[in-house]
Structure 1
Amino acid sequence: MNTVDAKRILETALICAPQPVPLRELRVLFNDALGADTLKVLLQELQLDWAQRGVELVQVASGWRFQSRPQMREYLDRLHPEKPPRYTRATLETLAIMAYRQPVTRGDIEDIRGVAVNSLTIKQLEDRGWVEVIGHRDSVGRPALFATTRQFLDDLGLQSLDQLPVLDDPSGDTDVLAAMAAAARGLIAPEAEPAPAEDLFRNEHVDAPAGIQEST
């Protein structure tokens, strides 16, 4: 099989796939006749082939997928002019703490936020597939430990947690929360004009990523 045929097969499979496809599954397309290194080279070539188009080939935590470029968002939204779903401030802060301090317990989150965490907030993030229980802390009551999921990384277009925005070294807990929430807001609503950190605690909602519907 020549390179052109292999790239065409990869391209077709990825365009038709409803979810990101990991490298090990892409090898199945060729009955393992092509190694992982060869496939990576072909995928990189495909990325270059699509470099001048409105759709791009990207690698996220779960594998490879085609997606629209961020600059196309304005035009695609015209096909679906309904108001985008939005997250509450409490949900955004809770997600930010889980992302940057994981694994964390509900008590850890409450210590950082300074207020009780509504169980419905955590359930909403679990239902979204963005957080999950990965174990229990060996302490009184064995509280559940929460962490983010691969789905969280996929939906925000990240390959790993290392790609989360780097935080400055703030001086106090309130500043820590503000920095984490600001970073999370930037990921969830990157098309929005960035707000000062202190405004995050006055705004009630922030936009959810395109194509993701928020539960009521």
Structure 2
Amino acid sequence: MSTGNNGPEDTGKAPRASGAPSPFTEEEIAAVTGPGDEDELEDSEVATIEADEVPDLQSSFEKLAQKSRNLSPERIRTVLESVLFVADKPLDLHQLYEATGIDREKIQEALNQISGIHRDGISGVVLYEVAGGWQFRTDPHSAEYVRRYLRVKPQRLTRAAVETLAIIAYRQPATRPEIEDIRGVDCGAVIKALLDRKLIKILGKKEEVGRPMLYGTTREFLEFFALKDLSALPTLREFHELTQEHQEIVEKERPAAPSASGTVEALADPEFQKRMDKSVAASEAALEELEEAMSAADKTQKATASILNPTPPPSEGEPGSAPGARADEVEGGGNGG
């Protein structure tokens, strides 16, 4: 109950710091805490939490390696799956060995098994060999759903960036003048953008006039395109074969267009050349027979013409005449005299 001036009742209880009445009296508090002494508090030791001793990494790794020797192949596979799952970067054999103590040969065997289990179209998490290491990645067929959940946009490169990056990847180390000479346009802004995205890096300077910067691809480039190393890049021959393949697909999609598949199959037949040789020989023999027949026909025609239209003999006694000469020639010769 409050007094007339709305102050607290005099209950003998110690007031709270906030001004509200305390539920305990001063006597109750003193009975629990004791009289207390400031010197006593100063002399008391400060409570400390003892930290664990720093473990000996060498000895702990030896123990781990000893334990790992007794693991079954199935257990080795599960251990590697756990380590790869928490890794934020591709891990190579040495890093996996340092993390698990498992023999490298057993690690490689387990990775081959894991890659067979976690592969495209079979598992939602796929094991890729990327940038010289191994990494779990989401299945490409599920990319649309994963992006929607993460609410991120797919990373895309402009045509200029792809062209510049391709030139650097295939010709590295490459300089900016070399790149611009191939593309025919200024590439300063594109190169800066690729440097910012860490897809390329500066390897040094070329020993020539002006000492231009040398550019090459990075580990992030391999991770971005899911490449094991630079040898995984397609060759120029593969580019041409890919182009031909695309042309064949286009031809198949257009029924009205003539197809060259029959010609290709015929050329691939080992008996085709023999048949062609026989055909050519037969054609040449027929041509010779035709020429002989035409020659014989020409001779027959001339003989027939000489019989049907004999040449009249010249008149005797005419001046300037000669055996076999035509009358007009004799006449012309006389007038000319």
After TM superposition, the score normalised by the length of structure 2 is 0.46
> How far apart, in 1, do the equivalents of 2:234 and 2:210 lie?
34
Compare 72-81 and 91-100 and name the one that shifted more.
72-81
Match for 2:111: what amino acid? Answer: L
Aligned to 2:235, the other structure's residue is in SS state coil
Match for 2:104: what amino acid? Answer: A
Report deviation, 1:144.
Answer: 1.1
The answer to whether the Cα contact below 8 Å between 1:134 and 1:147 also exists between their aligned partners in 2 is yes
- Structure 1 stretches (4+) deviating beyond 4 angstroms? 80-83
The answer to whether the Cα contact below 8 Å between 1:15 and 1:66 also exists between their aligned partners in 2 is yes
Structure with greater Cα Rg: 2
Q: Does 1:89 align with 2:159?
A: yes
CA shift in 2, pair 1:89/1:39, >3 Å? same
Which residues of structure 1 form unaligned runs of 5+?
171-178, 184-216
Describe how 1:73-88 pairs up with structure 2 within 5 A.
73-80=143-150, 84-88=154-158
**How much is the aligned-residue C-alpha RMSD, in angstroms?**
2.4
CA shift in 2, pair 1:169/1:65, >3 Å? closer
Which residues of structure 2 form unaligned runs of 5+?
1-70, 244-337
Equivalence for 2:204: 135
Q: Does 1:126 align with 2:195?
A: yes
The structure whose residues are more often helix, as a share, is 2
Report deviation, 1:136.
Answer: 1.6
Q: Does 1:103 align with 2:173?
A: yes
Equivalence for 2:236: 167
Q: Quick one: which of 105, 108, 123 aligns to 1:40?
A: 108
Count of aligned pairs:
170
CA shift in 2, pair 1:129/1:62, >3 Å? farther
> How far apart, in 2, do the equivalents of 1:86 and 1:45 lie?
33
Aligned to 2:166, the other structure's residue is in SS state helix
Match for 1:45: what amino acid? Answer: Q
Equivalence for 1:50: 118
Q: Does 1:11 align with 2:90?
A: no
> How far apart, in 2, do the equivalents of 1:65 and 1:19 lie?
7
Equivalence for 2:292: none
Report deviation, 1:80.
Answer: 5.0
Structure with the greater relative contact order (CA < 8 A, sep ≥ 6): 1 or 2? 1
The answer to whether the Cα contact below 8 Å between 1:62 and 1:154 also exists between their aligned partners in 2 is no
Report deviation, 1:87.
Answer: 2.7
Report deviation, 1:86.
Answer: 3.5
Q: Deviations over 1:109-150 (max 9, x none)?
A: 0100111222x3212111211111112211111111111111
* Percent of residue pairs identical: 39
Report deviation, 1:160.
Answer: 1.3
Equivalence for 1:68: 138
> How far apart, in 2, do the equivalents of 1:136 and 1:160 lie?
24
Report deviation, 1:169.
Answer: 9.3
CA shift in 2, pair 1:85/1:66, >3 Å? closer
CA shift in 2, pair 1:159/1:142, >3 Å? same
